[in-house]
Structure 1
């Protein structure tokens, strides 16, 4: 997450966070149905997939100058507060129950034991993820930055692009395309350095080379990248045991980078004190939002709320409550462990 105040990037981070909340809230995934498929929900799900790649690109862009000159010492200063928050939130998510029904019928320990066993079944993957699935962002970010820092440290900067590309291609071949390649990875390839290194590298190289695109060509890049992404998703869904839902595909870098170039070309986009005020809460919102989503969905099930109504209110409710949690946490002694 950026520490610098560029209005368009702050605005972009807010939109990306809202997209992540929409994705995790599974809006319109039950209804309406078209030919038995939640096409609206599926479309919104896929449209939201630009968000984390955009965060990675922004991180690479803003960290490039100091990472290039200071290398390992700066990486540690950057990583330390993020690791503290990752551990703190992981502990919270290991303790908080997720399923109200199981807690009420079988008890708290039964509900937690099932979840702990699930994490222990894949310990290496859990190490690169944390106490709840969305926390993979922090180990992913730091893994990618570590790869780039090591290459800089050993004066191998010329290998940043090929190494990042190799990791990205392997991540796809052993991830979304594994059904075609039969390749495998010891961890789920969305986690760790496979995709994050490539996305961080894009932002890193854009800053290093001072690259810019006009608004017109940035929009074209977004359209081409998203079209490729959707085309890949459709192709993979037609394969045996194929899925339509993917975090990263070959179209992802074009799509996310195009959005980044739009924000770069329009630096005053969203230049309003309201946006600046919200922007400082974004990392905290990202870290806490999923438990709010989980509890929101529990309440929806208990009250048997119409799925269309719940889909309409999910994103604003989760976003608002998450902001209130973050701002409340800032007033507690635990603030430095949980928010920035």
Structure 2
């Protein structure tokens, strides 16, 4: 595989946009209200479930791609521990740097600054968030609660790569498919026994999903190039299966947002995998578009977009009104501004590694880089 495959890079842009749209936090509720208010029940439920499937287009694609690229690199590099350190060390510094930023930034910081001044707004936010981390610590990184938010992805990815490194060291590749199946069973067991449906303070769902999806990418790295039929079969079949799963769950859990959102959709896994296999089956897809260029900003956009969202939401969202697709337009604006922020920060020597991975010493970035 070439260092930059146009289709894989293009799909990174699609994936990061779905992540931003998901993080607007209002897309799925507004879509649900619109569907339930304007569509018959037989159509409303599939539309609502499709909104929840948005998550399975973004994060899973990054994780599957990470596992695939990590395995491709390990086939060339015979020192798995050295390779693991090259991948994980920059991710650790990214996590530390951005966690420090989100600890001191209030969620609605423009309004807080106007009301209380710069010092009081940021000091109060820092005090609350430090207390929150001291109280909940591990669970915040597992669930992605405030102020960790989206940064849960970084430690989850690091743990996933650590698991795959151990698989490589102990030559356990032939058992990888059993690990994948076991992780899926564990995810379901946590949901129905010790997770979101039963009182519990520690939820491993996101991290189990991360290890599972990264392992899937690793496993496919040693397989023959997939066909278009296989890719589209997984996409269509996965989407249909996920719709069935969601429509079964909605009456069971009375449309519980948390229950459906945290469910490990088997169809969602197939959908995310199908998108990645489509990128492998058609390497030139998106080559003549700006997407491969924009993909290099993906890592910076991922870590910085909540900060941009904090800034723009009180200004932009009221102007967009309440029409159903306002979150899509808002997400496009947040993405564009995040690209500009990444580009600007990337030009500052001291701050550039907040939005990119070092490229001279690193293999291919697992999410994307900014240079």
Report the TM-score, using the length of structure 1 for normalisation: 0.86
Decide whether aligned partners of structure 1 residues 187 and 57 sit closer, same or farther in structure 2, where only a CA change above 3 A counts.
same
2:221 paired with 1:207: yes
Offset of 1:122 from its aligned partner?
2.1
Alignment of 1:216-295 (within 5 A): 216-240=229-253, 242-243=256-257, 244-246=260-262, 248-272=264-288, 274-295=290-311
1:236 and 1:24 map into 2 onto residues whose CA distance is: 23
Alignment of 1:61-210 (within 5 A): 61-68=68-75, 69-100=78-109, 101=111, 104-105=114-115, 107-108=120-121, 109-128=123-142, 129=144, 131-175=147-191, 182=198, 186-190=202-206, 192=207, 194-210=208-224
- Which segment is superposed worse, 315-324 or 228-237? 228-237
Root-mean-square deviation over aligned CA pairs: 3.0
CA deviations over 1:172-203 (Å, ceiling 9, x no partner): 3213775798596733421x3x1122211211
Report the TM-score, using the length of structure 2 for normalisation: 0.80
1:57 aligns to what?
64
2:155 and 2:112 map into 1 onto residues whose CA distance is: 30
Any conservation in 2 of the 1:151–1:157 contact (CA below 8 Å)?
Answer: yes
Any conservation in 2 of the 1:125–1:186 contact (CA below 8 Å)?
Answer: yes
Any conservation in 2 of the 1:8–1:268 contact (CA below 8 Å)?
Answer: yes
Equivalenced residue count is: 335
Any conservation in 2 of the 1:28–1:307 contact (CA below 8 Å)?
Answer: no
CA deviations over 1:312-339 (Å, ceiling 9, x no partner): 5202210110000000011112112442
CA deviations over 1:247-284 (Å, ceiling 9, x no partner): 63222221111111111111100113732321111111
Offset of 1:65 from its aligned partner?
3.0
Structure 2 stretches of 5 or more lacking a match? 358-371
